[in-house]
């Protein structure tokens, strides 16, 4: 028997997974408990992370979102995830490299996205892969798969890699890039019509190493004021296809039913009058009609001593705060 990075005892038959975090932490403290519950406990995982010294970005990203404030602290990361095999925190110094302009058929407006921001995300991927490679070489570790995931990814149900790949042949697995992308248009032009291709994906170590170490080649194709009629994530798909790999969209793990990106928007502020959702440590809290004057119902459940659920209807009786 061995112990994984999340200190859960596991058998040797379980897959050995390298989990590589990249990008700004954003809502990681709320997403980390479900990551542990729905992914890490099933595998022998080593965790690697490259992130930035501030919790959120300072560049144009094409979404009208509320920015997270605060700085990145290693001790907070350790409390959220447990043992991290290698961690790098870098100060981001934005440069004005211009923007790309994105107008997809179903959008009523043109979006703009910072070229520097895209490059910074790809840089973070490369650094996380570097930490993983160095650790594996030093400790003579061999991984079955390397999974890249942003810290703000909200896993709503168990992510079981072996089950998702059961219809994929060994040869396809060896050359495959597996992503949980979602269709953002009624038309179907393959990966051109898919968003979130680059926020959660996995493959064999050889595949991931080749794609990630060379992802800067995709960024170099972006020019100021370049116009796109497809998702910008498609540049990563084109790169991996050029390098001889095959992209696959995992059908059995869909957004937003099974996973989502936990973002803060004006819509969330409106919903808080009806429903409030909180995750802190191993506590999951769901409050219905939290603005009512008094609490009508309150129930608490303890799941095997690992995860606790607090369900209230009416005022929960303690402080609520924005993310």
Residue 87's pLDDT is 98
For the chain, the domains span 2-261, 266-314
Whether 48 contacts 64, CB under 8 Å? no
Residue 168's pLDDT is 94
d(CA 245, CA 242): 7
Angle 194-248-126 from CA coordinates, rounded to 5°? 80
Whether 82 contacts 5, CB under 8 Å? yes
d(CA 59, CA 47): 27
Residue 283's pLDDT is 66
Return the CA Rg of the chain.
Answer: 20
d(CA 174, CA 236): 18
Q: Does residue 281 or residue 264 have the better pLDDT?
A: 264
Is a pLDDT exceeding 70 seen at residue 269? no
Helices (H), the chain: 28-38, 74-81, 115-139, 161-164, 170-174, 205-213, 216-219, 234-242, 266-271
What does the pLDDT look like over 132-143, one tens digit per residue?
999 999 999 999
> Which of 118-122, 213-217, 303-307 has the least mean pLDDT?
303-307
pLDDT tier at 279, thresholds 50, 70, 90: low
What does the pLDDT look like over 247-267, one tens digit per residue?
999 988 988 889 999 876 533
Structure tokens at 173: 């697995």
What does the pLDDT look like over 174-183, one tens digit per residue?
999 999 998 7
Whether 159 contacts 260, CB under 8 Å? no
Residue 317's pLDDT is 46
What does the pLDDT look like over 53-109, one tens digit per residue?
999 977 645 444 567 789 999 999 999 999 999 999 999 999 999 999 998 766 667
Count of Cβ atoms closer than 10 Å to residue 209 Cβ: 17
CATH code: domain 2-261 is 3.90.550
Residue 139's pLDDT is 98
d(CA 41, CA 8): 6
pLDDT tier at 154, thresholds 50, 70, 90: very high
Structure tokens at 230: 């497809």
Is a pLDDT exceeding 60 seen at residue 318? no
Structure tokens at 99: 């923007």
Mean pLDDT of the chain, nearest integer: 84
């Amino acid at each position: 028997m061995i112990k994984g990075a999340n200190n859960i005892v596991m058998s040797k038959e379980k897959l050995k997974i390298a989990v590589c975090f990249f990008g700004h932490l954003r809502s990681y403290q709320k997403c980390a408990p479900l990551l542990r519950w729905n992914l890490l406990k099933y595998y022998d995982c080593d965790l690697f992370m490259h992130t930035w010294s501030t919790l959120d970005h300072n560049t144009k990203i094409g979404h009208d979102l509320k920015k997270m404030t605060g700085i990145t602290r290693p001790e907070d990361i350790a409390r959220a995830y447990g043992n991290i095999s290698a961690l790098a925190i870098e100060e981001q110094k934005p440069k004005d490299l211009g923007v790309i302009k994105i107008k997809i058929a179903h959008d009523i407006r043109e979006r703009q996205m910072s070229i520097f921001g895209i490059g910074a995300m790809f840089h973070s991927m490369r650094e996380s892969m570097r930490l993983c490679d160095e650790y594996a070489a030093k400790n003579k570790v061999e991984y079955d798969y390397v999974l890249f995931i942003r810290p703000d990814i909200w896993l709503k149900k168990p992510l079981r890699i072996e089950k998702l790949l059961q219809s994929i042949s060994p040869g396809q697995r060896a050359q495959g890039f597996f992503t949980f992308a979602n269709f953002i248009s009624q038309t179907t032009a393959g990966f051109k019509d898919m968003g979130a291709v680059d926020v959660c994906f996995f493959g064999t170590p050889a595949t991931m190493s080749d794609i990630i170490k060379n992802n800067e080649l995709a960024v170099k194709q972006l020019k100021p004021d370049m116009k796109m009629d497809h998702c910008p994530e498609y540049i990563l798909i084109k790169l991996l296809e050029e390098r001889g790999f095959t992209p696959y969209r995992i059908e059995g793990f869909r957004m937003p039913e099974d996973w989502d990106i936990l973002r803060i928007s004006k819509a969330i502020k409106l919903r808080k009058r009806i429903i409030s959702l909180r995750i802190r440590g191993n506590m999951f809290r769901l409050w219905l009609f939290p603005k009512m004057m008094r609490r009508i119902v309150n129930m608490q459940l303890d799941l095997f001593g690992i995860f606790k659920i607090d369900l209230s209807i009416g005022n929960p009786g303690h402080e609520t705060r924005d993310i």
